[in-house]
Amino acid sequence: MADKKTKKNHDPSMGGKRAAMPARENEWSSKGLNEAQTAFVAAPKEPNDQEDQSGKRPNIERGVEVLKTELRTISNEPGVYRMLDNQGDPIYVGKAKNLKKRVTNYTLVNKLPYRLQRMVSETRALEIVTTHTEVEALLLESNLIKRFMPRYNVLLRDDKSFPYIHISYEHDYPEIKKHRGAQKKKGDYYGPFASAGAVNRTLATLEKAFLLRSCSDSVFAQRTRPCLQYQIKRCSAPCVEKISRESYRVLVDEAKAFLTGENSKIQAQFAQSMQKAAAEMDYETAAAYRDRIRALTAVQSRQDINLEGTIGDADVIAGHKAGGQTCIQVFFFRAGRNYGNRAYYPSHDKNDDLPYILSAFIGQFYDDKPIPPLLLLSDAIEGQDLVQEALSVKADHKIELRAPQRGDKRKLVDHALNNAKDALGRKQAESSAQAKLLVKVGEVMGMSKRPNRIEVYDNSHIQGTDAYGAMIVAGPEGFIKQAYRKFKIQGSARAGAENFEPGDDYAMMREVLHRRLSRAMKEDPERNSESWPDLLLIDGGKGQLSSVVSVVKDLGLTENVTVCAIAKGPDRNAGREEFFMEGRPSFSLESNDPALYFLQRLRDEAHRFVIGSHRTGRQKKYQRSALDEIQGIGASRKKALLLHFGSARAVERAGLTDLEAADGISKSVAQKIYNHFHSDLA
């Protein structure tokens, strides 16, 4: 290799100083690693790399030569290595206690399984980061796998955040509400819950039991009389001082005690208060305590399993592998209470064993989530002691990984394992049925093979205004929701689309398809990725078909993509749909044809998604107030103005002196606001 240098510097994410490094080196970082040293090594990329003459097996010697070249400068330290393909994209991220030994293993191709041989054959560059310990390497590996999603790693393809219950500290009368995302606001967070439904049910019950407010601070500030929540006995109405601050704090403390596992104590207090009120013949108060006790009993009875005082805070993780696929069930227990479960289907090689899959899953799953003190596993995992130490470092408290063999904890694991087996069985049955439907659709459309990726398009607007297009995607595993896209239709010469009048449905469809396909050509000109569609299904008739076909022809994709338009039949009756394809007469399918039901489902999903996108966009537009148009008026000042004046219209009518009286509004800002609304007088 010509002019290759090895550099070691402190990673900037660790607080150390760093000299100038190659651009790609800036991608290496991992939260929680202390002073990790990095070294960048990369082989030159060969843009014209080809398979060998047989065309059956890639040229593995090229990849081995790359690795052998890099071995000259790789140290025996622990760290993480990243293999790159011909385009510089990561195809595998791994960690090692001894980097040199691990990379050397990849050069012994006869001892590698076929999957790793193929990975080596695709390797055209190698990047290395050295760390102080193997624990740091493991944390960094999980971080990078989740960031780059290399196709030869076990991958957790899930980006959904978990909901929590949040009790705020920023108000004299704290609110209780559902929260997702970063936990930046002051207060206590309880969770995670497996689903929004579980949170909503728990919140509704807690409102009945503890009468805490769920309204926002702005609504709270503007109330002059109790709302419906007070009337149905789900709030104590602190907004109109139906309860003192001290009494409300008692309710807050009781709710916190319940959420931290003191169920029996709180219910005993309520029972004692109910009996006391009944003895004093204050039957209304006694009835209120009775209803609160019922609410607490209800929230506990909905939980399938409760082990108060036995398990505390723990996650139960059980995996089941069959048919080359794996389902991992995660049950969340907090304060001994079951907060629900969620199923995951990580992507992996069919020959990977379950301990390895579970180990990779745990590293990625807890990369951005709080970790409870105890993880109960269905199987002992690969490198369990190392994973346990790494999680403890990340969480900053001791984490225990345990695969119980008997007792109550094993019953919990078995329960999760049975759920994993059932979920995987259902998914495999659905996948089998889906594959058969795709074969049938391919036959209907006259395709030479079944479509593995179907993209469905639809538009939505109101007389040409607030126009949106949407794309939904389906494949052998069902709907691929992470691939859904929405398009705010511009109606102008953007990305090659022509100017057109509002309401021109055909031109809108041309713009959406041009933007989608031209971007795909730019990102993947060789069409090697799985993001290219086999079938484009358009909601519409001949006009929409012609619009899309013209885009496909202009981009030179006619040999790669099949296009079909689906139009509702007479009187828009479902079941009498008519299909249009270029070069063949229109046709219909039998009303009981499974392929027709499948295509109807795809069209209806696209319609649902585009309608939702349109409504969301329109709502955002209408929710914008005149204050949003003033430069320098951010969220905090806007809130201060609305709280002071009550509405944007009142701000518009306010005088300069009145504006200056609002909290956080200086004279210069007040002048800017006044000038904005009175520019004709300025």
Confidence of residue 301 (pLDDT cuts 50, 70, 90): low
Domains 314-425 and 626-677 share a fold: no
Where do the domains of the chain lie?
8-148, 164-301, 314-425, 454-621, 626-677
- Over residues 120-146, the mean pLDDT reads 92
| Between 192 and 633, the higher pLDDT residue | 192
For residue 189, the number of C-alpha atoms closer than 13 Å in the C-beta half-sphere is 16
- Over residues 559-579, the mean pLDDT reads 80
- Least-confidence region, from 44-58, 165-179, 367-381, 536-550: 44-58
Does 616 score more than 50 pLDDT? yes
Contacts 24+ apart (CB under 8 A), 386-395: 386/134, 386/135, 386/138, 387/138, 387/359, 387/362, 387/363, 389/135, 390/135, 390/138, 390/139, 390/363, 391/362, 391/366, 393/32, 393/135, 393/139, 394/32, 394/139, 394/366, 395/370, 395/371
* CATH top class, domain 626-677: mainly alpha
CATH fold of 314-425 reads Nucleotidyltransferase; domain 5 (3.30.420)
pLDDT tens profile 633-675: 777 787 788 777 777 777 888 888 888 888 888 888 888 888 8
Give the whole-angstrom CA distance, residue 93 versus residue 86: 16
- Over residues 521-548, the mean pLDDT reads 86
For residue 639, what are its two tokens? Answer: 């809130």
> What stretch of H or E contains 190?
strand 187-190
Q: What is the number of residues in the chain?
A: 682
With beta carbons less than 8 A apart as the criterion, state whether 659 and 670 touch: yes
Output the pLDDT for position 618: 62
* Residue 82 dihedral angles phi and psi, to the nearest 5°: -130, 120
* Residue 348 dihedral angles phi and psi, to the nearest 5°: -160, 170
Does 295 score more than 80 pLDDT? no
Quote the pTM value.
0.67
Give the whole-angstrom CA distance, residue 522 versus residue 121: 26
Residue 94's closest CA among 40, 375, 84, 63?
84
For residue 155, the number of C-alpha atoms closer than 13 Å in the C-beta half-sphere is 18
Residue 118's closest CA among 186, 64, 174, 45?
64
CATH fold of 8-148 reads GIY-YIG endonuclease (3.40.1440)
- Whose tokens are 């044809």? That residue is 593
With beta carbons less than 8 A apart as the criterion, state whether 538 and 566 touch: yes
Give the whole-angstrom CA distance, residue 423 versus residue 318: 12
Give the whole-angstrom CA distance, residue 69 versus residue 506: 56
Output the pLDDT for position 29: 41
The CA–CA distances, whole Å, from 656 to 650, 673, 674 equal 12, 9, 6
79-84 sheet: strands from edge to edge: 8-10, 37-39, 125-130, 79-84, 90-96
Residue 124's closest CA among 48, 215, 198, 191?
48
With beta carbons less than 8 A apart as the criterion, state whether 71 and 101 touch: no
Is 454-621 a CATH 1.10.1040.10 domain? Answer: no
For residue 428, what are its two tokens? Answer: 């495999």
pLDDT tens profile 213-268: 988 888 888 888 888 888 888 899 999 989 998 989 988 888 888 888 777 777 78
Interacting residues of 556 by C-beta distance below 8 A, sequence separation 6+: none
